[in-house]
Amino acid sequence: MIVVSSIKTLRHKLATARAIGTVGFVPTMGALHDGHLSLMKRAKKECDFLIVSLFVNPLQFGPKEDFKAYPRTASQDRKKARSAEVDLLWLPTEKMLFSPDFQTSIEVGSITHLWEGASRPNHFKGVTTIVGKLLQIVRPDFFYLGQKDYQQCCVIRQMLRDLHFETRLHICPTLREQDGLAMSSRNTRLSAQKREIAPVFYHALQTAKKSVQSGEKKTKNILQAAKSILDATKDIQLDYLALCDTITLLPIDRIKNRAVLLVSGNLGEVRLIDNILLKVPSAPNKS
Amino acid sequence: MIVVSSIKTLRHKLATARAIGTVGFVPTMGALHDGHLSLMKRAKKECDFLIVSLFVNPLQFGPKEDFKAYPRTASQDRKKARSAEVDLLWLPTEKMLFSPDFQTSIEVGSITHLWEGASRPNHFKGVTTIVGKLLQIVRPDFFYLGQKDYQQCCVIRQMLRDLHFETRLHICPTLREQDGLAMSSRNTRLSAQKREIAPVFYHALQTAKKSVQSGEKKTKNILQAAKSILDATKDIQLDYLALCDTITLLPIDRIKNRAVLLVSGNLGEVRLIDNILLKVPSAPNKS
């Protein structure tokens, strides 16, 4: 595994790789877990050369958010990347990506004002700006994101289309702990007591899924099914629970064919998000 | 000369060209004049393959500005491009560049709030968004802009650096009519009477230049020299006249080595801009 820091060296290595075959890219903020490794595994299978970046992006954290507390586990990350047969591990520094007069941003519109964007002003602007920068440097044929950050995937897909990026985005399934909690670098920040409660988001999503599978189509009732589970847990400060169109993320009144159920809430200091794709059963059980 | 409209065909042609040599790009809004042709001439000299785009970008016009009135001279433009030995003329349509759900923008910060940006909100955001899109599609080795839009050149240079574009920007000298008026597609919209007055901007810049050449270093006095020329003409509504740092475009009190003098004003309905680079003489005449 090549470990590179400077943009110039990286571009040099990539030019060689690109001449031989396809380049796959998994951008991360480090604190790698099995979710990241599953993205790498898929990329490794589909591409000739796999590059993984590790960079905790200051732009996407709000002033009151956990940029400083965000877990940093550099040496473990290296070992994990090596075990995932990453070809090139890129460790840019803040100085390399942000010159002192840095002042440009990439911003996606209406879809970023919803849900996570409503609660975290400038979060998606920070995400699209850094992803745009990284993609411009790496220019991968394919890049890989996890479905856990569903809205982020939609926002980035919109940016790729609107700005004519030639890379292809693959959204990979959310990996979960045995008890259903969606894997996230933030999970390590949960206290033992909060960690025990955390799978309640997953249970709520599953309950909604069952309700749809049994023929429920009204958003109100589907949400009520999920909310009854969340309400049973006092420690959760729910931010949103919303049944949405899978592309525009606008809330829908009724599920016709497919929909995404998005949820976010705080468990103590830690913000958790999760989601599930819902599909109306092809042979309806009830009307 | 190949004439192409679709992005897909364009990319196909460019892939072939890129495999053989360097690609030079001159983005234009059409209504080609000798200023544009001088950019093409330079690009043709420096690159193996020259692509010119013609697209009147709606994003960079304000609601009260002259998007509809902007001169459109498609068939003349083709002839001129052919005479300039353009290899590929790209004529994208609005529909190709903006899908119905288009919602992404590229925005440069502080440098866009000054001068033209102060008078034309969202103008530079429209410019950087379209230029970012075009560059992402064309991916030229070199691209060419005219110094006449000096602030625009600075803004785009900042975007290129901040977003790691791999293209190199060449800023080419302003071409002028015999009487000194900077060439601009907008000049055709001047009435005969206004056209006669228009070179006053150039005379003002020249007067400032003479003042610097004769040893003047104080901004106040340099501006006064230029302003005395402009004030003699009643029909001009001056927007700004400013002596600035050549990179940051912040106003300076005193010229140390180099500076740029920016001017903009309205002549009737038509907004004109111009600028001149000023340099302190190496052997000072007076203190």
pLDDT tens for B263-278 read 999 999 899 999 999 9
- The two structure tokens encoding residue B143: 């691209």
Residues of A in contact with B108 (CB under 8 A): 103-104
pLDDT for residue A234: 87
Mean pLDDT confidence for A40-45: 98
Strand partners, B88: B2, B51
* B15 to A135, B8, B12, B254, B262: CA distances (angstroms): 19, 11, 5, 49, 40
Residues of A in contact with B137 (CB under 8 A): 164
The rounded Cα A87 to chain-centroid distance in angstroms is 22
* B33 to A38, A63, B146, B194: CA distances (angstroms): 56, 50, 12, 19
Which site among B104, B112, B133, B246 would you substitute to test the A interface, given the most A Cβ atoms closer than 10 Å to its Cβ? B104
Q: Are A196 and A178 in contact (CB under 8 A)?
A: no
pLDDT for residue B179: 97
Residues of B in contact with A102 (CB under 8 A): 162
Cβ of A164 within 8 Å of Cβ of B105? The answer is no
pLDDT tens for A162-218 read 999 999 999 999 999 999 999 999 999 999 999 999 999 999 999 999 999 999 999
Query: Could you tell me the maximum CA-CA distance found in chain A, to the nearest angstrom?
Result: 62
Q: Looking at CA atoms only, how far is residue B190 from chain A in angstroms?
A: 35
Supply the residues of B annotated as catalytic: 36
Tokens 């003002």 — which residue?
B204
Q: Residue A116, CB half-sphere, CA atoms under 13 Å: how many? A: 28
Q: Are A159 and A100 in contact (CB under 8 A)?
A: no
Cβ of B104 within 8 Å of Cβ of A108? The answer is yes
Domains recognised in chain A with CATH numbers? 2-172 (3.40.50.620), 185-276 (3.30.1300.10)
For all residues of chain A together, what is the average pLDDT?
A: 96
Main-chain phi, psi angles of B237, to 5 degrees: -100, 100
pLDDT for residue B284: 52
Q: How far apart are CA B120 and CA B140, in angstroms?
A: 29
pLDDT for residue A38: 97
Give yes or no for residue A134 having a pLDDT over 70: yes
Cβ of A99 within 8 Å of Cβ of B162? The answer is yes
pLDDT for residue A65: 86
Sheet with A168-172, edge to edge strand ranges: A2-4, A88-90, A49-54, A23-28, A142-146, A168-172
Query: Where does the pLDDT of residue A284 fall: very low under 50, low under 70, confident under 90, or very high at 90 and above?
Result: low
ipTM of the predicted structure? 0.95
pLDDT tens for A239-249 read 999 999 999 99
* Average pLDDT per 10 consecutive residues for chain B, totaling 287 residues: 97 96 97 97 98 95 88 93 98 97 98 97 97 98 98 98 98 97 94 95 98 97 97 93 97 97 95 97 65
Q: How far apart are CA A144 and CA B241, in angstroms?
A: 50
Give yes or no for residue A286 having a pLDDT over 60: no
Classify the phi-psi angles of A78: left when phi > 0, otherwise alpha if psi is within -120 to 50, otherwise beta.
alpha
Give yes or no for residue A146 having a pLDDT over 90: yes
Give yes or no for residue A66 having a pLDDT over 90: no
Between B69 and A129, the more confident residue is: A129
Secondary structure class of A4 (helix, strand, coil): strand
Of B108, B133, B164, the CB nearest to A163: B133
Of A33, A36, A123, A164, the catalytic one is A36
- Evaluated on CA atoms B86, B88, B91, B92, the torsion sign reads negative
Which of A60, A199, A188 shows the shortest CA–CA distance to A123? A60
- The two structure tokens encoding residue B187: 């000049």
E strands present in A20-176: 23-28, 49-54, 88-90, 104-108, 142-146, 168-172
Cβ of B108 within 8 Å of Cβ of A104? The answer is yes
Between A13 and B282, the more confident residue is: A13
Q: Are B29 and B54 in contact (CB under 8 A)?
A: yes
* A148 to A28, A211, A247, A275: CA distances (angstroms): 13, 21, 15, 7
- The two structure tokens encoding residue B194: 């206004």
pLDDT for residue B285: 53
Helix B123-138 × helix B7-20 angle, to 10°: 60
* B244 to A152, B114, B160, B277: CA distances (angstroms): 41, 11, 21, 10
Q: Are B150 and B260 in contact (CB under 8 A)?
A: yes
- The two structure tokens encoding residue A108: 């996606």
Query: Where does the pLDDT of residue A150 fall: very low under 50, low under 70, confident under 90, or very high at 90 and above?
Result: very high
Position A113: which residue type? H
Which residues lie below 8 Å from residue A19, measured CB to CB, with a gap of 6+? none
Cβ of B110 within 8 Å of Cβ of A99? The answer is no
pLDDT for residue B93: 96
Which chain A residue has its CA at the smallest distance from B11's CA?
A166
pLDDT tens for A203-217 read 999 999 999 999 999
